Structure 1
Amino acid sequence: MKSKIIKSVLWSLFAFFAVLSLFLLFVVGDHSKTSQASKSSQTKASTSKVTKKADLPKVSSSAWELVLVNRDNVTAEMNPEISYVNGVAVDARIAENVTNFLAAAQAIDASEHLISGYRSVAYQEGLFNSYVSQEMAADPSLTQEQAETKVKTYSQPAGASEHQTGLAIDMSTVDSLNESDTTVASQVQALAPEYGFVLRFPKGKSASTGVDYEDWHYRYVGVESAKYMTKHHLTLEEYVALLKENNQ
């Protein structure tokens, strides 16, 4: 009788440890798979970041041609060395690019011409204030603040306009914003990167730039950067942020 009891206890212990072993095998195995999947996911993420970094042009976010001037980056007078292209002042370092870009645009439509280039901070202040006065005159119900908010959708306060960099130009077939033939404008915008320029305020990007679409405002950023920005539909704000994220 005693022997039967001992055998029963031994069989119970054997069964218990067998079940315990199977349980541990299942749990450890599942954890191992999860761990491996996690490592695989991390590796893919790391590889993705490396690919993204490798895909970027080898330029620095602090390069002179990528200087960011907007309402979040108000800048004092920059005093660039000036050259004139068809009577319009631009940073001397991009004069040749402007000349070649203008010639290419005129090959599309002979009426393409430069409208504006470098502006001093003082000039921009006067221009901005004149626009505010015009808006208030057109709509007397507007307060000063409301008029300024409206003007900021198409012009910038002193220190916030990139025209003071000498790297921005306004170029169109007409002297009015967004009134050029859309087919001509799109063709000019498409060839701009070949000369180092991007359309600075594209459609659908006002949340990034703070400015509505402008068909005539081009910004020099360098050929390599211009082609990358255009290919990936990036504004200058987005491009500079991307370079910084990748420690460039």
Structure 2
Amino acid sequence: MRKKRSLPTLILGLLVIIIFIVGIFVFVQGNRLTLKGNARNASTSVSQSSSAKSSSVAAKKKVANLPDVSTKDWQLVLVNRDHITPEMNPDLTQIDNITVDSRIADDARNFLAAAQAIDASEHLISGYRSVAYQEELFNSYVSQEMAADPSLTQSAAEDLVKTYSQPAGASEHQTGLAMDMSTVNYLNQSDADVVEKVKAIAPEYGFVLRFPKGKSESTGVDYEDWHFRYVGKESAKYMTDNNLSLEEYIALLKENNR
């Protein structure tokens, strides 16, 4: 006949059993939390990977759609304050009261006609300018600004003029590829709706609005509603579709060894 276990022994046994059960419960719960955490991390990783792949695909698509052009092409010559260029002496053709590079004459005529179909008052204001003439023009603007505001120093007046005109060697008018066209003879005074319509058809003729809104950081020039630049039809369409200034477009081409 076995002896009956004492009360303390029974209590101790129960405590051991309870501790064992609690230990198993904690272990199981810990594993569940670990699995959930791993699942969440895996999900986040997949999501981030998916997002990265999407961005990569979009970037590749953008680069893949680049026109087959080179920064060395004559249509894409870059002239600005960071790219001072000597006199280029292009072969010129007269269109109405201005002259342009002969290679763009037909497109320029057709663009003007299309713009006049939108608003009959559209007209050409300026085309090719020699470096010497640009220097005279720039200096005359500086004198006008100083006369209008005697407190301006020569340097301050030049900086002000640079927001709407360029020093000699920095104006792309010397390329013969730029032309000013508007319904009026004053900067940014055209009907905004007309400007947008003309801007929209410009790529069909190889032109872009050279200094659009929001691009002064890359161009160095404030918005101008009348200055159009010939870059070729493929490039004009790509620049417009991707909201690129000529400076940004040239940089993109260089990044892709064009």
Alignment of 1:118-157 (within 5 A): 118-157=128-167
Greater Cα offset, 177-186 or 142-151: 177-186
Count residues in correspondence.
219
TM norm structure 1: 0.82
- Indicate the SS of the match to 1:176: coil
Equivalent residue, structure 2, for 1:111: 121
Runs ≥4 residues deviating over 6 A = 36-46
Residue 187 of structure 1 aligns to which amino acid in structure 2?
K
Please, which runs of 5 or more residues in structure 1 have no aligned partner?
Answer: 1-32
| Residue 180 (structure 1) aligned to one of 169, 185, 190 | 190
- Between the aligned partners of 2:239 and 2:186, the Cα distance in structure 1 is 26
- Between the aligned partners of 1:177 and 1:44, the Cα distance in structure 2 is 42
| Residue 168 (structure 2) aligned to one of 158, 169, 172 | 158
What displacement does 1:84 show? 0.5
Percent of paired sites with the same residue: 71
- Between the aligned partners of 1:67 and 1:183, the Cα distance in structure 2 is 30
Alignment of 1:69-80 (within 5 A): 69-80=79-90
Greater Cα offset, 99-108 or 173-182: 173-182
What is the aligned-residue RMSD (CA, Å)? 2.2
What displacement does 1:47 show? 5.1
What displacement does 1:61 show? 1.5
Alignment of 1:199-218 (within 5 A): 199-218=209-228
Please, which runs of 5 or more residues in structure 2 have no aligned partner?
Answer: 1-41
- Between the aligned partners of 2:201 and 2:51, the Cα distance in structure 1 is 40
Greater Cα offset, 185-194 or 234-243: 185-194
What displacement does 1:72 show? 0.3
Larger Rg: 2
Equivalent residue, structure 1, for 2:35: none
- Indicate the SS of the match to 1:114: strand
TM norm structure 2: 0.79
- Between the aligned partners of 1:40 and 1:99, the Cα distance in structure 2 is 49
| Residue 68 (structure 1) aligned to one of 78, 84, 98 | 78
